[in-house]
């Protein structure tokens, strides 16, 4: 057991170290049936709401929401956490840092308040040995259940239990699961107190500090403040390990607990300064001490310094640490040196720190020296800018200047801000953002060259040209090799981590890169916890093979020995399709003639496409013949042999070479029995029998003299017929037939449809004739001319004209005006017979005279006119107006 020198009052507590306390906690909850889980990575998995894991509960969210099933209903962890929300204030006081470890025990629908409270008490008092009379529980105002447990079951007197409101003791995050909390406070004694009369639990001073928080997730908030009981109640507890250590070791702050103190001392040693001598120094000492912990852990989880997202958080942390080291007078690179003290102190709980030591030091030193190179220059420029500001009487640095510092000298905005703040100067942040946006636009425009994947070509151009890869996958689907280069979509990097997309290059790969019409392999690359899903494989300039994809967990870094596994089903199906194109080419030459040359091809796991020279569309008979030949050669089970030889030798074998293709000195020849011999670098089946079956889907023209065949093989053919079968049985079901009598049934149905529609036609015209009878009652006589003006509902312009013609006939001589409303619009038709026209009637002028009443316009000839309108409500008025207008026209 360790002991620590301190001049504080003697207490009856064993002064356990940070590493001991972590182990004690996990062992204790293991003895209570909990599964001890390793700390999750600081990089959130499948969670875009967080940049970095910031609590013990955060990585367990899917278990709380029920999205995933936990490995056990009781889980305990010590989780590494980073919070950078108020990074500007870190160091100013000793209350907190960006990095901390959180102890937690969790119940997913298992135990609840009784056990959670009892075990919390047992751990604090019996395991750690804190004095019970220094501990004060608090509960949520209305939570009598928790109050009673503390009071009656644990035996804490009622006056020592505090009730707090929603702000302190209710955990809630918008709508969804929520619930009351119960915290435990520890009285550190008068020496930490403010001495004010009301000083007790809840006071702002450092005397009573919260060591444990139990969250009882028991309600569901519907978002409107209505709470209902959750069917599955959860327990989520949290306790800061460093804070517990500060209490147990009875030291002033987290910066004084054993492991962090060792680190702090190392900072002081390097700087030649003493802690607690000068406030200004203390701030810098605490910043360096805290930030080097965060940086070490972040890098060990694969986060790399960058200008975006969590990479930027890391860059900022490293640069702040570097700068405050310089303020303390430390010369040269020192971060890796300090990081080794972090690793020494924490490797007990986090063995990955020791494993990735060299990598961590490397990343830190690179970033630090990059920063050091620019900082002096940047500081000089900033000093000049400050001078100018003073001359011009400004206290605000312009956005362009701040951006110039950022862009040219690598000064992060917040660093510039921090330096200026010390002199009571500010920055035009909006101006900075505007300048940044403008530059990004420019960069986007300048970066138009992309490959077919849409990836940035220039990324690959930045890879060391000396790096090459070798394809070893003709007969192997998995292989071990070293990572020689990696990129994100934007930059060459040293590591890829959970959620990032990018490209991995290795020395030797079993993955086939897209080439010669054959699509690249898919699969997975693994290293320990790290998993990279390969979505495509391509050839890059300089003999490199790039595996393009996304990290789905953990990290993979440069130099790692990785396990590369090609998706076997995808490869097998691709091979079937590729080998079939060789058989197809020979079959086409056999059926169509030797003018057939390959003009292009595409094969992937799902289908094949073969373009060839030929000058007319193939007949169904030719297609059937070609398909038959290919299937015969499949059934002949021809062995497929590949050999590498010189081009001269290959020509002697009669190999078909691609027209216009350049070949190297040695070529690969693929032979299928005596039937087909081709030069080809692709992957193939071992025997044509493996293709199983071949089916042509279509033949079409793609250019002058170039035809295209699309076809399927093996499982693709079965899937194709299965789909046809499904469609057939659906159709059969609809017409209540069987596949056997479907055609007969459809013939009957078509005849029936024809008969019914002719019946329908005659019924419709009968109905129209009948409705005319009634309309004839509305005929009026104006100055001896018969007028029929009526509304015919639902008719379109054509129907209205037909109706008009019929009515005109029925009328003998006279004028017909019809109006209809259809789909909210008005149609008008006017017609006049010869004798009506002789008496002065003019259909065109008639319609002109009434169209305005239905919100429209129109006109036409004297015998026939039509118009449209937008106001159906005006129809009765328009019809009434007809009489007046016609009366005016007639002699």
- Which residues of the chain form contacts with Zn ion (CB under 5 A)? 193-194, 199, 203, 205, 680, 682
- Minimum CB separation of residue 187 from Zn ion in Å reads 11
> Would you say 640 or 680 has its CB closer to Zn ion?
680
203 versus 453: smaller Cβ distance to Zn ion? 203
Residue 680 near residue 516 (C-beta atoms within 8 A): yes
Minimum distance, C-beta of residue 609 to Zn ion, in the bound complex (Å): 13
- Give the nearest distance from C-beta 692 to Zn ion in angstroms: 19
The CA-CA-CA angle for residues 661, 663, 664, to 5°, reads 160
What whole-number distance in Å separates Cα of residue 847 and Cα of residue 891?
Answer: 19
What is the DSSP pairing of strand 35-37 with strand 74-82? parallel
Q: Report the run of H or E that residue 25 belongs to, with start and end.
A: helix 18-31
Asked if residue 578 belongs to a known ligand binding site, the reply is yes
Exposure string for 723-759, b = 16+ CB within 10 A, e = fewer: eeeeeeeeebeeeebeeeeeeeeeeeeeeeeeeeeee
CB-nearer residue toward Zn ion: 25 or 208: 208
860 vs 786, 826, 844, 847, 865, CA distance in Å?
21, 17, 4, 8, 4
Nearer to Zn ion, 197 or 272 (CB): 197
Q: How many residues does the chain have?
A: 891
* CA torsion angle 435 439 445 449 (round to 10): -160
Cβ atoms of 461 and 541 closer than 8 Å? yes
Tell me how many degrees the CA angle 111-112-116 measures, rounded to the nearest 5: 95
Nearer to Zn ion, 339 or 676 (CB): 676
The tokens for 838 are: 């002789």
642 vs 845, which CB is nearer to Zn ion?
A: 642
Q: What angle do CA 579, 585, 590 make, to 5 degrees?
A: 130
Residue 207: CB minimum distance to Zn ion, A:
5
Q: Among residues 517 and 858, whose Cβ is nearest to Zn ion?
A: 517
* Residue 193 C-beta: closest distance to Zn ion, Å: 5
Which CB atom, from 472 or from 656, has the smaller least distance to Zn ion? Answer: 656
Q: Least distance (Å) from Zn ion to the CB of residue 321?
A: 33
CB of 405 to Zn ion, least distance (A): 44
The C-alpha atoms of residue 327 and residue 279 are separated, in whole angstroms, by: 13
| 680 known member of a binding site | yes
3-state secondary structure at position 124:
helix
Q: In 5-25, which positions are buried (b, 16+ CB within 10 angstroms) versus exposed (e)? A: eeeeeeeeeebbbbbbbbebb
**Separation of alpha carbons 411 and 413, rounded Å:** 6
* 684 annotated as ligand-binding: yes
Q: How far is CA 400 from CA 373, 377, 383, 407, in A?
A: 22, 17, 15, 10
Min. distance of Cβ 194 from Zn ion in angstroms?
3
Dihedral over alpha carbons 646, 649, 653, 656 (to 10 degrees): 50
The residue among 193 and 715 lying less far from Zn ion, judged by its C-beta, is 193
Give the C-alpha separation, 496 to 492, whole Å. 10
Min dist. Cβ of residue 583 to Zn ion (A): 11
250 torsion bin: left (phi>0), alpha (psi -120 to 50), beta (else): left
Q: Give the torsion through C-alpha atoms of 560, 561, 567, 571, to 10 deg.
A: 110
Dist CA 540 CA 468 (whole Å): 9
- Taking the C-alpha atoms of residue 127 and residue 382, their distance in angstroms, rounded to an integer, is 55
Q: Pick between residue 107 and residue 518 the one whose CB is nearest to Zn ion.
A: 518
Q: How far is the CB of 586 from Zn ion (least distance, A)?
A: 12
Which lies closer to Zn ion via its Cβ, residue 584 or residue 693?
584
Pairing of strands 508-509, 470-471: parallel
The residue (of 627 and 678) whose beta carbon lies closer to Zn ion is 678
Calpha distance 294→288 (Å, rounded)? 10
Residues of each annotated binding site: 578, 582, 680, 684
Annotated binding site for Zn(2+): 578, 582, 680, 684
């Amino acid at each position: 057991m360790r002991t620590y020198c301190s001049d504080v009052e003697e207490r009856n507590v064993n002064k356990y170290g940070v590493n001991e306390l972590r182990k004690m906690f996990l062992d204790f909850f293991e003895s209570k049936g909990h599964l001890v889980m390793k700390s999750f990575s600081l990089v959130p998995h499948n969670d875009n709401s967080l940049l970095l894991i910031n609590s013990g509960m955060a990585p367990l969210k899917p278990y709380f929401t029920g999205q995933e099933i936990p490995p056990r209903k009781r889980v305990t962890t010590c989780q590494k956490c980073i919070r950078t929300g108020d990074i500007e204030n870190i160091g100013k006081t000793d209350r907190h840092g960006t990095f901390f470890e959180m102890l937690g025990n969790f119940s997913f629908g298992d135990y609840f308040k009784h056990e959670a409270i009892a075990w919390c008490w047992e751990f604090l008092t019996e395991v750690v040995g804190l004095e019970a009379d220094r501990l004060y529980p608090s509960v949520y105002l209305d939570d009598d259940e928790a109050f009673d447990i503390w009071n009656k079951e644990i035996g804490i007197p009622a006056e020592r239990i505090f009730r707090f409101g929603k702000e302190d003791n209710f955990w809630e995050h918008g709508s969804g699961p929520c619930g009351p909390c119960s915290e435990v406070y520890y009285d550190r004694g008068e020496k930490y107190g403010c001495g004010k009369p009301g000083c007790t639990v809840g006071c702002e001073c450092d005397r009573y500090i919260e060591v444990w928080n139990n969250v009882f997730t028991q309600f569901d908030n519907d978002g409107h403040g209505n709470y209902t009981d959750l069917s599955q109640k959860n327990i989520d507890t949290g306790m800061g390990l460093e804070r517990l250590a500060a209490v147990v070791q009875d030291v002033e702050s987290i910066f004084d607990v054993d492991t962090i103190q060792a680190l702090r001392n190392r900072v002081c040693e390097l700087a030649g300064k003493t802690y607690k001598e000068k406030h200004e120094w203390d701030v810098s000492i605490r910043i360096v001490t805290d930030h080097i912990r965060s940086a070490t852990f972040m890098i060990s989880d694969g986060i790399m310094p960058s200008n975006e997202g969590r990479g930027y958080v890391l860059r900022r942390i490293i640069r702040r640490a570097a700068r405050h080291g310089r303020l303390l007078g430390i010369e040269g690179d020192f971060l890796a040196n300090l990081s080794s003290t972090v690793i020494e102190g924490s490797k007990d709980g986090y063995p990955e720190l020791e494993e990735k030591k060299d990598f961590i030091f490397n990343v830190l030193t690179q970033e630090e020296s990059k920063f050091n190179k620019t900082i002096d220059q940047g500081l000089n420029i900033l000093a000049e800018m400050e001078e100018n500001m003073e001359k011009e009487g400004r206290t605000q640095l312009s956005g362009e200047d701040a951006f110039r510092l950022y862009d040219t000298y690598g000064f992060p905005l917040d660093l510039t801000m921090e330096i200026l703040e010390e002199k009571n100067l500010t920055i035009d942040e909006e101006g900075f953002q505007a300048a940044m946006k403008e530059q990004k636009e420019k960069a986007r425009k300048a970066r138009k060259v992309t490959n077919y994947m849409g990836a940035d070509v220039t990324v690959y151009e930045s890879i060391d040209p000396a790096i090459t890869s070798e394809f070893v996958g003709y007969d192997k689907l998995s292989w071990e090799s070293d990572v020689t280069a990696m990129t994100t979509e934007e930059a060459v990097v040293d590591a890829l981590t959970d959620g990032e997309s990018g490209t991995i290059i290795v020395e030797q790969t079993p993955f086939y890169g897209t080439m010669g019409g054959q699509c690249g392999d898919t699969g997975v690359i693994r290293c320990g916890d790290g998993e990279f899903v390969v979505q495509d494989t391509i050839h890059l300039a300089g003999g490199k093979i790039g595996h393009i994809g996304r990290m789905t967990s953990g990290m993979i870094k440069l130099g790692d020995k990785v396990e590369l596994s090609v998706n076997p089903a995808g490869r097998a199906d691709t091979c079937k399709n590729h080998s079939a194109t060789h058989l197809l080419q020979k079959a086409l030459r056999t059926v169509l003639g030797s003018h057939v040359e390959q003009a292009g091809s595409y094969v992937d796991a799902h289908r094949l496409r073969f373009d060839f020279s030929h000058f007319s569309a193939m007949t169904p008979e030719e297609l059937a013949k070609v398909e038959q030949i290919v299937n015969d050669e499949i059934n002949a089970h021809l062995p497929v042999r590949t050999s590498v030889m010189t081009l001269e030798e290959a020509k002697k074998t009669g190999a078909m070479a691609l027209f216009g293709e350049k070949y190297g000195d040695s070529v690969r020849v693929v032979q299928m029995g005596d039937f087909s011999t081709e030069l080809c670098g692709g992957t193939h089946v071992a025997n044509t029998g493996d293709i199983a079956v071949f089916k042509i889907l279509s033949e079409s023209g793609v250019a002058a003299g170039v035809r295209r065949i699309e076809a399927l093989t093996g499982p693709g053919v079965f899937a194709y017929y299965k789909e046809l079968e499904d469609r057939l049985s659906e159709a059969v079901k609809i017409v209540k037939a069987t596949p056997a009598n479907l055609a007969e049934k459809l013939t009957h149905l078509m005849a029936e449809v024809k008969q019914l529609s002719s019946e329908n036609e005659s019924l419709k015209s009968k109905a129209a004739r009948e409705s005319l009878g009634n309309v004839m009652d509305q005929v009026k006589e104006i100055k001896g001319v018969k007028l029929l003006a009526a509304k015919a509902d639902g008719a379109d312009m054509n129907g209205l004209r037909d109706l008009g013609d019929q009515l005109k006939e029925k009328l003998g001589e006279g004028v017909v005006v019809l109006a209809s409303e259809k789909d909210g619009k008005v149609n008008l038709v006017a017609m006049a017979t010869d004798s009506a026209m002789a008496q002065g009637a003019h259909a065109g002028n008639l319609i002109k005279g009434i169209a305005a009443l239905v919100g429209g316009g129109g006109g036409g000839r004297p015998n026939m006119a039509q118009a449209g309108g937008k106001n159906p409500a005006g129809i009765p008025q328009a019809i009434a107006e007809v009489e007046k207008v016609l009366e005016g026209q007639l002699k």
